[in-house]
Amino acid sequence: MKTVRVATAVAYDVRIGPGLLAGAHEAVRGRSACAVVSDKKVTRLYKSSVGTLADSPWFELEPGEDSKSFATLERVLDFQSRSRLDRRSTLIAFGGGVVGDVGGMAAALYMRGIQYVQVPTTLLAQVDSSVGGKTAVNLAAGKNLAGVFHQPSLVIADTSTLATLSDDEFRSGLGEVIKTALLTGADALALLERDASRIWSRDPSALETVVEMCVRTKAAIVSRDPHEKGPRKLLNLGHTFAHAIEHEAGYGKVPHGVAVGVGLCLALATSQRTQRLADPELPARVDALLAAFGMPRSLAALTGVKLDPARLVSAMSLDKKNAAGKLRLVLPVSAGDAIFDVEVDEPSLLATLRAPHSA
């Protein structure tokens, strides 16, 4: 097992490795009560693996992005009340990113905030969404526009759960892995290139290394900037494009990490177009990694959706990082170097989105 410390105001550990579910009940030792939020698929696969936690009150979401709604959030809040949780109780968010986001937000709001533990079961959640305390639901206007920061007390990332993911779910996590490697530096990017086949075949050792690398990078950034006032914005590399893609396609049509992969290509193209990219080989390296994992590298390659560039730019205008009506992006410069709060005008974005590599 690997352990990474996240040094926010209330520090917590991220435990990474196979076989950790069996000890998850230890996370609530000494608490007044606990309850579990999961989804139907995770419950079916893993409820029997969590020991005495299986005897706790258990709430099941419907799998998928449609559950990131105020209606679902209200049901989880009512569940906490019915379960007689108090301020010394713990909520367990046991599942993927949707479960973590909704469960974390419900814990933040219930009685003005109770403790919660993240038990992520997807690659996307283990490398990204379970760490850092971001919780949210979607609005009709855009993704994650209603939310709060509420750090977990512990994250338990059992990497053996990754073996049961579908290829599409696994690819969704790989989009965030590539993003994190770009932010981490040349060695991390080279690691992915060297071990791409082992990662895709879900070699346990390779996956544990990848999850640890991503968590260490995110923990370092979050510890410096827990509320995203400065350098934490770097973690949104590719996401302004990705969230617009998800919104315009219809939530759930394009998996988040797949949209992030395309968003990375578009961010690199924008950086190149605006003469900020210092490493001209970087776009080809990211393109090759996406290809190795069978992921789309352009808007046109997204299966079953046709997206209008002008509508994408309009959706991007609602991004949380914008200010005073100005579009602000995170743009890569080289491996391990990116810049945030970069103002990019709409004509430049439209030119990028309409370029042959995007079509």
Our answer to whether residue 5 is catalytic in this structure is: no
Given a contact cutoff of 8 angstroms between Cβ atoms, the answer to whether 249 and 305 are in contact is yes
Q: Which of 68, 134, 150, 328 is catalytic?
A: 134
Q: Which of 60, 65, 169, 176 is catalytic?
A: 176
How many other C-beta atoms can be found within 10 angstroms of the C-beta atom of residue 144? 18
- Burial annotation 204-227 (CB, 10 A radius, 16+ → b, else e): eebbbbbbbbbbbbbbebbbebbe
Distance from CA of residue 321 to its chain's centroid?
17
Our answer to whether residue 232 is catalytic in this structure is: yes
Q: Which of 169, 212, 228, 246 is catalytic?
A: 228
98 phi/psi in degrees, rounded to 5? -65, -45
Q: Which sign, positive or negative, has the C-alpha torsion 175, 181, 186, 192?
A: negative
Q: How far is CA 9 from CA 5, 28, 223, 324, in A?
A: 12, 21, 8, 30
Spatial neighbors of 107 by CB under 8 A, at least 6 apart, are 80, 91, 93, 113, 114, 115, 116, 135, 150
Q: Which sign, positive or negative, has the C-alpha torsion 307, 311, 316, 318?
A: negative
Q: Which of 232, 233, 320, 321 is catalytic?
A: 232
Q: Which of 236, 247, 321, 328 is catalytic?
A: 236
Our answer to whether residue 357 is catalytic in this structure is: no
Q: Which of 218, 297, 321, 328 is catalytic?
A: 218
Q: Which of 239, 285, 297, 320 is catalytic?
A: 239
Our answer to whether residue 236 is catalytic in this structure is: yes
- Strand runs labelled E in 159-221: none
Our answer to whether residue 134 is catalytic in this structure is: yes
Q: Which of 41, 179, 216, 243 is catalytic?
A: 243
Q: Which of 29, 112, 229, 306 is catalytic?
A: 112
Tokens (6 digits) for 353: 């989105």
Closest to 303 (Cα-Cα) out of 168, 173, 142 = 168
Catalytically annotated residues:
112, 134, 176, 218, 228, 232, 236, 239, 243, 256
